[in-house]
């Protein structure tokens, strides 16, 4: 199983109208980054080419023979999947059937920190964003939109790298705590 930090940046929240700006991924080993953060950029590749690369990576692969080759780890992965699938349809990269989408959400292995963050926030969704649990503050989405509007590509890359660093700051601690708790609570046969 190969785990990857995975996140996308978008122009806004409606995938029928807004494009994917960038896709970031980074191999994970022992709950830490293991290799370089790679950023696929719409301004260099074009959106359709970027989406084709995402397909080749196996991010959306549910076939059991390949599903574990790229296991995404991130926050709110359902948003990312929905956005990517919709943009693939809108750009003609791939047309997903309802059964294919359901199979993806049912069978694709993934690790989504969203639920853990909600639980860490006393079960409340409001205020459960990653930015509430890390020193490396993530900026609100409007900052990314401002950078995109200015075509400040270096600023966008810096923003994405900051998000990844913030994710790993929290992810390493949460997984260590949960692993320890699992060892203590596991029922012996």
pLDDT per residue as tens digits for the range 140-162 = 667 888 999 999 999 999 999 99
pTM (2 d.p.): 0.94
* DSSP 8-state symbol, 133: S
Q: What is the overall mean pLDDT for the chain?
A: 93
What is the structure's pLDDT at 127?
Answer: 87
Residue 22: CB atoms within 10 Å: 23
Considering the domain 3-185 in this protein, what is its CATH number?
A: 3.30.420
Res. 135 pLDDT band, cuts 50 70 90: confident
The interaxial angle of helices 98-107 and 77-91, nearest 10 deg, is 150
Band of residue 134 on the pLDDT scale cut at 50, 70, 90: confident
The string of pLDDT tens digits covering residues 30-81 is 999 999 999 999 999 999 999 999 999 999 999 999 999 999 999 999 999 9
Report helix, strand or coil for 96.
coil
Which of 98, 126, 10, 13 has the alpha carbon at shortest distance from 24? 10
The answer to whether the beta carbons of residues 20 and 50 sit under 8 Å apart is yes
């Amino acid at each position: 199983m190969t785990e990857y930090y995975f996140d996308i940046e978008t122009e806004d929240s409606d995938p029928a109208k807004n494009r994917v700006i960038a896709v970031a991924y980074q191999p994970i080993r022992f709950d830490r980054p293991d290799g370089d953060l790679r950023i696929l950029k719409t301004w260099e590749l074009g959106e359709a080419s970027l989406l084709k690369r995402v397909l080749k990576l196996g991010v959306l692969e549910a076939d059991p023979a390949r599903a574990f080759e790229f296991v995404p780890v991130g926050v709110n992965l359902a948003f990312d999947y929905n956005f990517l699938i919709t943009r693939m349809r809108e750009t003609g990269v791939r047309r997903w059937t309802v059964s294919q989408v359901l199979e993806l959400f049912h069978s694709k292995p993934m690790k989504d920190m969203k639920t853990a963050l909600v639980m860490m926030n006393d079960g409340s969704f409001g205020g459960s964003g990653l930015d509430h649990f890390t020193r490396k503050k993530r900026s609100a989405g409007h900052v990314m939109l401002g950078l995109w509007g200015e075509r400040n590509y270096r600023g966008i890359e810096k923003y994405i790298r900051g998000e990844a660093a913030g994710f790993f700051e929290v992810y390493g601690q949460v997984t260590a705590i949960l692993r320890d708790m699992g060892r203590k609570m596991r029922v012996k046969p």
